[in-house]
C-alpha cells in the first residue's frame, strides 16, 4: 500500500505489534506481558483472570449478530448497561466481566482504534499471550451507538436452541462446539453470578467462587475437562489451528456494511510520528523515528528534497539508533523478534527551503543495501501547516489544557479555516473528535514565509492524537502528532 501517511493503519500496527517495550501499548499489561496470565484487574485473589473476561466479552458482544439481516456483531454494544442487564434474559450477560473489560480498555481507544477493535484485540491478546495460537487480526470495526437486539445463548437453553442461535450468528453445530471449547479453555463459572450452578467458596485465593472449566484456567490449551465431544481436539495442533480460525471468524463477525482491513502484516520499515515542527526564527525540524522489524542495519541515511523538488549531496544525514528503544511483538510460535528504533537526524532546515520529500538508504548488517522509498514513490510531506515548539499540554484543575501554536505558510493566501482536532470520548466511552476553530491572529507579521496562529482550550480528553487542519482554496492540509509519542516530540514536554 503506497499511501503514506496512513495513521489508521499505523495505529493498528502499533496496537498489534508494539506489544512490549518502547511505545508499548497497554493491552498486554492486562496479561502482565504474558508472563502470568492470572493477572486480574482487582487483584490476585478473586480467582479470576482478565484473559477470561476479555475473551468472553468479545464473544458476548459478537453473539447478537444476525446473518439474515446483518444486524448485531462485534461493535462494542456490550458496553451499554441495557445490554448487560437484559431483563428478558437474566442469565446471558450475568457477571461483571464486561464492566471489568471496559474498565481496563476505556481510554485506550482513539480516533483510529475503535472500542470494538479494542475488544477484538483484547481477545486476541488474551489468547496469544496466554499460550494460544496467533490469530489473524483485521481492524476497522465501528462502535454501535445503541444496544443491539438480544441474542447471546443462555446456559439453561436446550441444545437445539444453542444450535439455532449459533446458526443465526453464522456458525455450524460443529463450529459451535469448537468455539465454545476454544472459549472455555479460560476461566470458569462464578458463584456470585450463577449461585444456583456454583457453590460459594471459602478459598481465600478464589473469593468470587469461580468454578474453573479446567485446571489450567489462565492458560490456553486443549484441556477442557469433562468434554466428550472433543476427541478431535486431543491433537493440540488441530486444536490450535481450529481455534485460530474460529476465533478470527468470531471477531470478524461485524454488522453489515462495516468493512474490515486486510489481515494486518507488520510494517517492516515504519516511519513513526513524523512531522515538521517550527522551532522559531525561520527554522524547522523534521521529527520522527523509524521502527525496523527484526534486523539491525549498520547504517540508515536519510535523504531529502527541498520544497522546490531540488536535492543536493548535502541533503543527507544519518539516523541514530536509540538503543533504549526496542520492542518485542510477542508473537506466539515465533522465535524472539526484536524491533529497533532509529531517530530522525537532528537537522535544522531553513523554512524558505523546507522539506517536501524524504527517503532512506539502508545498509543491512549482512552488507546488502536497500533504498526505502515506498517503492519509488518517496515519503511526501506537506509544509503548509506545522506546530511550533510553543505547543504544549498542561493540567488545570485536573483537566487537560492544550495550547496550540501553528505556523502556516503565508504565500498560499488567507486560510478560510484553521482548526484543531483532538481525541475526546463521548459519555458512553466512544472515541469522539473535539474540533476547535482557531481565529485569525489580529496583526500577523510573517516570519520567513510563515504566520503564527494560536489557541488554548480545555479538553475532556484521552489526548491520544492531535491535528491542526488548514483549509485554503478548497484544499485541506493537516499536521498530526500524538501524546503517545511525547518523547518523540519534546515540544510537547513543555508544560504550559
Q: Which residues bind ligand HEM (CB under 6 A)?
A: 48, 52-53, 55-56, 59, 95, 97, 153, 155, 162, 179-180, 182-184, 186-190, 193-194, 210, 250
Write down the least CB distance from residue 17 to ligand HEM, Å. 24
- The per-residue b/e assignment along 361-396, b for 16 or more CB within 10 angstroms, e otherwise, is bbeeeeeeeeebeeeeebbebbbbbbbbbbbbbeee
Contact 322, 341 (CB under 8 A): yes
Write down the least CB distance from residue 200 to ligand HEM, Å. 13
Please say which residue, 189 or 410, places its beta carbon nearer to ligand HEM.
Answer: 189
CB atoms within 10 A of CB 110: 23
Q: Which residues contact 473 (CB under 8 A, 6 or more apart)?
A: 412, 413, 416
Please say which residue, 59 or 113, places its beta carbon nearer to ligand HEM.
Answer: 59
**Nearest-CA neighbor of 401 among 463, 452, 483?**
463
> HSE on the CB side for 191, CA within 13 Å?
14
Please say which residue, 211 or 489, places its beta carbon nearer to ligand HEM.
Answer: 211
Question: Which long-range contacts does 321-324 make (Cβ < 8 Å, 24+ apart)?
Answer: 322/289, 324/22
Write down the least CB distance from residue 206 to ligand HEM, Å. 11
Please say which residue, 22 or 194, places its beta carbon nearer to ligand HEM.
Answer: 194
Distances (CA, A) of 478 to 24, 279, 433: 26, 18, 15
Write down the least CB distance from residue 289 to ligand HEM, Å. 37
Please say which residue, 53 or 117, places its beta carbon nearer to ligand HEM.
Answer: 53
Please say which residue, 185 or 482, places its beta carbon nearer to ligand HEM.
Answer: 185
Write down the least CB distance from residue 123 to ligand HEM, Å. 8
Please say which residue, 213 or 453, places its beta carbon nearer to ligand HEM.
Answer: 213
Write down the least CB distance from residue 182 to ligand HEM, Å. 5
Contact 273, 488 (CB under 8 A): yes
Write down the least CB distance from residue 9 to ligand HEM, Å. 27
Torsion over CA: 189, 193, 194, 199 (sign):
positive
Write down the least CB distance from residue 363 to ligand HEM, Å. 47
Block residue for cell numbers 448485531: 72
Q: Which residues contact 397 (CB under 8 A, 6 or more apart)?
A: none
Backbone dihedral angles phi then psi of residue 49, each to the nearest 5 degrees: -145, 140
Please say which residue, 183 or 271, places its beta carbon nearer to ligand HEM.
Answer: 183
Amino acid at each position: 500500500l503506497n499511501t503514506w501517511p496512513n495513521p489508521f493503519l499505523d495505529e493498528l500496527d502499533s496496537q498489534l505489534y508494539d506489544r512490549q517495550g518502547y511505545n508499548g501499548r497497554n493491552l498486554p499489561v492486562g496479561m502482565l506481558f504474558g508472563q502470568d496470565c492470572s493477572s486480574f484487574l482487582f487483584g490476585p485473589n478473586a480467582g479470576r483472570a482478565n484473559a477470561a473476561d476479555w475473551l468472553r466479552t468479545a464473544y458476548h458482544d459478537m453473539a447478537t449478530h444476525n446473518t439474515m439481516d446483518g444486524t448485531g456483531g462485534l461493535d462494542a454494544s456490550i458496553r451499554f448497561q441495557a445490554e448487560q442487564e437484559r431483563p428478558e434474559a437474566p442469565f446471558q450477560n450475568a457477571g461483571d466481566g464486561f464492566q471489568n473489560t471496559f474498565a481496563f480498555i476505556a481510554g485506550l481507544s482513539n480516533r483510529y482504534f475503535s472500542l470494538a477493535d479494542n475488544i477484538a484485540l483484547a481477545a486476541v491478546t488474551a489468547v496469544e499471550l496466554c499460550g494460544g495460537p496467533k490469530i489473524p487480526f483485521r481492524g476497522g470495526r465501528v462502535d454501535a451507538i445503541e444496544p443491539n437486539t438480544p441474542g447471546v445463548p443462555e446456559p439453561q437453553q436446550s441444545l437445539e436452541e444453542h444450535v439455532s442461535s449459533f446458526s443465526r450468528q453464522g456458525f455450524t453445530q460443529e463450529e459451535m462446539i469448537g468455539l465454545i471449547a476454544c472459549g472455555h479453555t479460560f476461566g470458569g463459572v462464578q458463584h456470585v453470578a450463577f449461585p444456583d450452578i456454583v457453590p460459594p467458596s471459602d478459598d481465600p485465593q478464589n473469593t468470587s467462587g469461580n468454578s474453573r472449566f479446567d485446571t489450567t484456567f489462565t492458560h490456553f490449551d486443549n484441556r477442557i475437562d469433562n468434554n466428550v465431544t472433543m476427541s478431535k481436539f486431543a491433537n493440540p495442533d488441530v486444536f490450535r489451528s481450529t481455534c485460530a480460525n474460529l476465533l478470527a471468524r468470531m471477531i470478524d463477525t461485524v454488522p453489515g456494511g462495516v468493512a474490515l482491513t486486510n489481515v494486518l502484516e507488520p510494517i517492516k520499515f515504519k516511519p513513526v510520528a513524523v512531522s515538521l515542527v517550527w522551532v522559531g526564527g525561520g527554522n524547522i525540524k523534521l521529527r520522527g523515528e523509524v521502527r525496523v522489524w527484526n534486523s539491525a542495519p549498520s547504517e540508515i541515511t536519510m535523504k531529502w528534497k527541498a520544497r522546490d523538488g531540488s536535492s543536493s549531496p548535502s541533503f543527507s544525514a544519518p539516523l541514530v539508533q536509540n538503543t533504549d528503544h526496542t520492542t518485542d511483538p510477542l508473537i506466539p510460535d515465533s522465535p524472539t523478534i526484536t524491533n529497533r528504533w532509529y531517530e530522525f537526524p537532528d537537522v535544522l532546515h531553513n523554512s524558505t527551503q523546507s522539506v517536501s520529500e524524504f527517503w532512506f538508504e539502508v545498509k543491512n548488517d549482512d552488507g546488502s543495501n536497500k533504498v526505502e522509498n515506498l517503492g519509488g514513490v518517496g515519503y511526501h510531506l506537506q509544509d503548509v501547516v506545522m506546530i511550533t515548539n510553543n505547543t504544549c499540554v498542561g493540567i488545570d484543575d485536573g483537566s487537560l489544557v492544550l495550547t496550540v501554536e501553528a505556523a502556516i505558510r503565508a504565500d498560499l493566501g488567507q486560510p478560510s479555516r484553521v482548526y484543531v482536532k483532538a481525541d475526546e470520548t463521548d459519555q458512553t466511552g466512544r472515541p469522539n473528535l473535539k474540533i476547535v476553530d482557531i481565529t485569525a491572529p489580529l496583526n500577523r507579521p510573517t516570519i520567513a514565509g510563515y504566520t503564527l496562529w494560536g489557541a488554548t482550550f480545555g479538553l475532556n480528553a484521552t489526548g491520544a492524537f492531535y491535528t491542526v487542519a488548514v483549509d485554503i482554496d478548497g484544499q485541506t492540509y493537516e499536521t498530526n502528532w500524538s501524546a503517545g509519542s511525547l518523547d518523540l516530540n519534546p515540544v510537547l514536554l513543555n508544560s504550559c
